[in-house]
Structure 1
Amino acid sequence: MKENKTQSSNPVFWISAIIILVLVIWGAFVPKSFASVANSVYTFTTNAFGWFYLLAVIFFVLFCFYLAVSKYGKIRLGKDGEKPEYPFFTWIGMLFSAGFGVGLVFWGVAEPMTHFANPPTGFGVEGETEQAAKLAMRYSFFHWGVHQWSVFTVVGLVMAYFQYRKGRRSLIGETISTKTNQNKSVPWKTVINILAVIATVMGVATSLGFGILQINGGLDYMYGLPQNAWVQIGITAILFILYMSSSTTGLNKGIKYLSNLNLALALLLMLFVLFLGPTVFILESFTLAIGGYIQKFIEMSFYMTPYQGGTWVKEWTVFYWAWVIAWSPFIGAFVARVSKGRSIREMIFGVLIVPPFIAMVWIAVFGGAAFHLDLFQGTAIADAVNNDVTSALFVTLEQFPLTGILSTLSIFLICVFLVTSADSATFVLGMMTSGGDLNPSLFSKLVWGTLIAAISAVLIISSGLQGLQTASLVAALPFTVILLVMCVNLFKSVRQEMKAYEVKKERKLLKKLTDPSNRQKESSDQSHTS
């Protein structure tokens, strides 16, 4: 009772919960109005602020790389000499599962095949050709590569630094000032923490919605289960029971074990497709796409089409950046939680290189297999994906032996990813709405678990994929500004710390050189040597 009372007296908890609840009620009872407003806001936001998202994310990339290679990279996220809490494989598994696993399973085939059929605007490439396949793979790498993870890295790094190095609470509001006395509650911190919670709920709901749609699409493709609201609500209810059950076991049991299971299952499925599919073609297309990604890195980072018109960049790149920014308070808090004891350099390179590399390999394997089937074996995977994007993975797996087993394994993998993500999200949201408590109450996790499931169902029913995209896009806009402020404050703080360290080191050296006892000792040593 005491925990619940403390929880409910926290304004961040009840204000953000009420806002989400109002959206749920609106979408559930007046879905047409909800969808209409969402579409209008989506159009306005992409048209007016697409450029802002692109500039912000490339800034995050450059900021991360600068910190990693600079003298600040050796600063530890914790006390000096503190060891990492989790082994490397477990750490990467937790990042992969909580960060983007379910989104990658959804888009791993769907995105490259969509670009293959409908190439990006402004390149003059005809669909379903060799050039379209090259461009599709390159842009898929771009969307799931360094840029995406730079956002997660920034938030995780800032939160871990101020929490474990400076002793502040694990809250976004505690990271936007370099002043030392930061545990006092002030109104603007409350507003920022509320925005972080809302962005997190919308980002997680988007990913949960994608997964629910894909599970329904897979069950429809395999077993003829209809794709409708009732089935999707049923899937949501089952997932809710599973992730709430998992959340009762805590971080070191449920999430840890599920993360390891996720990574193992994903690698097993990927290796099966790699070695039973067109292995050489996949490896060659991966190599070519990596080269194109590196070569066109800057161009893609700033690419927009003000002269050609069209909505491709807004529907894909802008949406992705908004989606990951909306995810970032959740992923960042989770990354910070599992990265204690690592150095800034180690964390940046680990988070910014390993998960994106895994993502690119995944896309190359599944997307490459689908390309080979359409280009050289006359299948029509691109057409099937164009008709129903949720069936992309299952249409591809149909061309392999043991189709039923592979498809069932894929659905199970999606479910485990969703359970892990939602489990992690309820933990982080509970932490964010309980003053940074690293062991949030079951009551808070139950509230946020329920609201996440409810808003996901409402977004799916009211406007499907468009509604999911709109939710992330709008929630991310104010939080992008907060992220930029967080970067500035982190830089100020590490610079101050490094200056203080260097001054202390110089004074220590000067004291050693000017200490009479040291001079006498040196003279005695020289006499002894003579």
Structure 2
Amino acid sequence: MKRDTIEKPIFYATIIVTLLVIIPMIINPEGANSLMNSAFGKLMNNFGWAYLWFAVMALIVCMYIAFSKYGNIRLGDPDEKPQHSTFSWVAMLLCAGIGSSLLYWSSIEWAYYFMSPPYGAEPFSVAAADWATSYGLFHWGVSAWAMYTLPTIPIAYVYWVRRNPSMKLSTACSGVIGEERANGWLGKAIDIFFIFGLMGGCGTSIGLGTPMITAGLNSLFGIPKSFAVDLIIIICWCLVIGLSLYRGLEKGLKQLSTLNLKMAIFVLLFVLLVGPTFFILNTMSDGLGHMFQNFAKMSFWTDSVGGSGFPQGWTVFYWAWWIVVAPFMGIWVAKISKGRTLKELILAEIVWGSLGCWMSYSVLGNYALHLEINNIVPITEIIANQSTYDAICAMLLNLPMGKVILFMFVSTMFIFLSTTMDSAAFTTALVASKDLEFGEDPVKWYRVFWGFLLAALPIALLFSGGALRALQTSSAVA
């Protein structure tokens, strides 16, 4: 007789809470946007300092654990061997953590800082360029990855060392709220809000990825931007996600992540070697130096006197989103880290995660900056008059074999989003399951169901006009 492993209270409550939240957003997206933006603005302005301090403390705590005696704790038996090769392991944690957003923002984020720089710098000046090449590295660097890593530590320890078969956020919180509360209504509420927040996080990736792929197809093949094209892209995504989830961790997610990382490395190496190589390398050095020189300043700055709103609109907002996605990353990375020590786990996330993001920002962002300041491609003008997606396409088409590399870029984004949604659905199925034996995965149909739900919900809101933004903001507020 098959066991019922579906955690029905979490399953049904998540559906009900989600419907109660999104139905008003679909009916009145403008009103929902206004309400959520107002709440989020007050949260950022009044408690932005707390987000900044949390990021710093997360980095300090992670480094302490890594280099203390606790860093030698092995996840599993004392002589346990790593479950996955280092390359596959790093590929799975990277592809889950960054998604298609990395390729998008690393290509274009610098332009916003160049046009509207912080600290009173003159727009389009040398000082603006210094901040443009360093702030993206900061936002996707060690502080951000430390926030990903922090929840991974207790989740991995409870699961692999104490061998608690329940891989849920509520279980990891049992040391703080008590085991009775973790298994009761409070624990279920934590898991429900985790899933709801993850839906908003997935919505961000879909909201960025779909228009970028549509713009790429338009530039490559002249396919018009339309609802039908978006729908076809989404259907293809769902098919890839469903197949990968059905095949499981080893045959699906692992292979897809490994392929994804290899494709991303190829794109970056191509741009580096074929583009303005020495400018990219020199500007990368400048950006890293500028970031490390101003790391403390960037970490604590709220601009309470100047009131520019820059740290709230960028750093605090980024930190809020890293925190929203952090529990998902904690569960996912813990699941794939059998046989690793806590030190290996912490350094892999913070060091490899940061290096991967820095490489993408340095290559794509600095190449685009080179085009802008040398009047080769007016990136900022295209952003102002057309869209960021058109600017990215124009940037890549300027390369030798531009259409080939744009196709590779779009394909990599497609797979990046697939791996992110795969790991998110796998994690959600774990959280919404019960009575799983140690090391057991959720049933196949349940994994596939969550994959389709995580993809379909933001898409429905995206096409309703403005409601997706409200969902993203509300999940961060929650």
Shared fold by TM > 0.5? yes
Aligned to 2:265: 267
In the alignment, the residues of structure 1 paired with residue 124 and residue 83 of structure 2 have an alpha-carbon distance, to the nearest angstrom, of 48
Give the one of 132, 135, 148 matched to 2:128: 132
Q: Does 1:205 align with 2:213?
A: no
Opposite residue 448 of structure 2, the aligned amino acid is L
In 1, are the aligned partners of 2:302 and 2:311 still within 8 Å (CA)? Answer: yes
In the alignment, the residues of structure 2 paired with residue 404 and residue 335 of structure 1 have an alpha-carbon distance, to the nearest angstrom, of 35
Q: Where does structure 1 lack aligned partners over 5 or more consecutive residues? A: 479-530
Tell me: CA distance 1:201–1:86, structure 2 relative to 1, closer, same or farther (3 Å).
same
Opposite residue 246 of structure 2, the aligned amino acid is T
Aligned to 1:155: 151
More displaced, 198-207 or 342-351? 198-207
Give the alignment of 1:241-390 within 5 angstroms.
241-386=239-384, 387-390=386-389
Give the one of 141, 144, 149 matched to 2:140: 144
Tell me: CA distance 1:443–1:341, structure 2 relative to 1, closer, same or farther (3 Å).
same
In 1, are the aligned partners of 2:174 and 2:182 still within 8 Å (CA)? Answer: no
In 2, are the aligned partners of 1:323 and 1:473 still within 8 Å (CA)? Answer: no
Aligned to 2:94: 96
In 1, are the aligned partners of 2:40 and 2:477 still within 8 Å (CA)? Answer: no
Aligned to 1:393: 392
More displaced, 168-177 or 87-96? 168-177
CA RMSD of aligned residues (A): 2.3
In 2, are the aligned partners of 1:170 and 1:436 still within 8 Å (CA)? Answer: no
- What SS does structure 2 have at the residue aligned with 1:125? coil
Q: CA deviation at 1:38?
A: 3.1
In 2, are the aligned partners of 1:64 and 1:154 still within 8 Å (CA)? Answer: yes
Deviations 1:440-468 (A, max 9, x none): 1233223322321233224433555x944
Aligned to 1:114: 112
In the alignment, the residues of structure 2 paired with residue 273 and residue 184 of structure 1 have an alpha-carbon distance, to the nearest angstrom, of 49
Give the one of 183, 194, 207 matched to 1:185: 183
In 2, are the aligned partners of 1:211 and 1:414 still within 8 Å (CA)? Answer: yes
Deviations 1:245-271 (A, max 9, x none): 221000001111111111110011101
Tell me: CA distance 1:11–1:373, structure 2 relative to 1, closer, same or farther (3 Å).
same
- What SS does structure 2 have at the residue aligned with 1:126? coil
Tell me: CA distance 1:401–1:129, structure 2 relative to 1, closer, same or farther (3 Å).
same
Aligned to 1:426: 425
Give the alignment of 1:432-511 within 5 angstroms.
432-435=431-434, 437=436, 438-462=440-464, 467-468=468-469, 471-477=471-477
In the alignment, the residues of structure 1 paired with residue 313 and residue 435 of structure 2 have an alpha-carbon distance, to the nearest angstrom, of 35
- What SS does structure 1 have at the residue aligned with 2:377? coil
Query: How many positions carry a matched residue from both structures?
Result: 472
Aligned to 1:500: none
**Percent of pairs with identical residues:** 32
Deviations 1:292-335 (A, max 9, x none): 12111111111111111133222211221111111112211111
Give the alignment of 1:217-236 within 5 angstroms.
217-236=215-234
Opposite residue 402 of structure 2, the aligned amino acid is T
Tell me: CA distance 1:184–1:351, structure 2 relative to 1, closer, same or farther (3 Å).
closer
Aligned to 1:61: 59
Q: CA deviation at 1:101?
A: 3.3
In the alignment, the residues of structure 2 paired with residue 297 and residue 346 of structure 1 have an alpha-carbon distance, to the nearest angstrom, of 24
Q: Does 1:18 align with 2:16?
A: yes
In 2, are the aligned partners of 1:144 and 1:360 still within 8 Å (CA)? Answer: yes
In 2, are the aligned partners of 1:117 and 1:383 still within 8 Å (CA)? Answer: no
Tell me: CA distance 1:221–1:304, structure 2 relative to 1, closer, same or farther (3 Å).
farther
Aligned to 1:408: 407
Q: CA deviation at 1:85?
A: 0.8
In 2, are the aligned partners of 1:282 and 1:364 still within 8 Å (CA)? Answer: yes
In 2, are the aligned partners of 1:24 and 1:454 still within 8 Å (CA)? Answer: no
Q: CA deviation at 1:228?
A: 4.9
Q: Does 1:175 align with 2:172?
A: yes
- What SS does structure 2 have at the residue aligned with 1:289? helix
In the alignment, the residues of structure 1 paired with residue 223 and residue 35 of structure 2 have an alpha-carbon distance, to the nearest angstrom, of 31
More displaced, 171-180 or 265-274? 171-180
In 2, are the aligned partners of 1:206 and 1:471 still within 8 Å (CA)? Answer: no
Higher alpha-carbon Rg: 1
In the alignment, the residues of structure 2 paired with residue 48 and residue 365 of structure 1 have an alpha-carbon distance, to the nearest angstrom, of 36
Opposite residue 134 of structure 2, the aligned amino acid is R
Q: CA deviation at 1:80?
A: 1.6
Opposite residue 430 of structure 2, the aligned amino acid is M
In the alignment, the residues of structure 1 paired with residue 477 and residue 182 of structure 2 have an alpha-carbon distance, to the nearest angstrom, of 27
Opposite residue 40 of structure 1, the aligned amino acid is S
Aligned to 1:491: none
Q: Where does structure 2 lack aligned partners over 5 or more consecutive residues? A: none
Q: Does 1:165 align with 2:161?
A: yes
Deviations 1:511-530 (A, max 9, x none): xxxxxxxxxxxxxxxxxxxx
Deviations 1:172-220 (A, max 9, x none): 1111233996798222111111121112222122222221122123234
Q: CA deviation at 1:6?
A: 4.1
More displaced, 84-93 or 172-181? 172-181
In the alignment, the residues of structure 1 paired with residue 64 and residue 117 of structure 2 have an alpha-carbon distance, to the nearest angstrom, of 34
In the alignment, the residues of structure 2 paired with residue 184 and residue 290 of structure 1 have an alpha-carbon distance, to the nearest angstrom, of 42
In 1, are the aligned partners of 2:182 and 2:188 still within 8 Å (CA)? Answer: no
Q: Name the TM-score, length of structure 2 as normaliser.
A: 0.92
In 1, are the aligned partners of 2:5 and 2:435 still within 8 Å (CA)? Answer: no
Opposite residue 441 of structure 2, the aligned amino acid is N
In 2, are the aligned partners of 1:110 and 1:385 still within 8 Å (CA)? Answer: no
Opposite residue 14 of structure 1, the aligned amino acid is Y
- What SS does structure 1 have at the residue aligned with 2:199? helix
More displaced, 230-239 or 420-429? 230-239
Aligned to 1:527: none
Aligned to 1:516: none
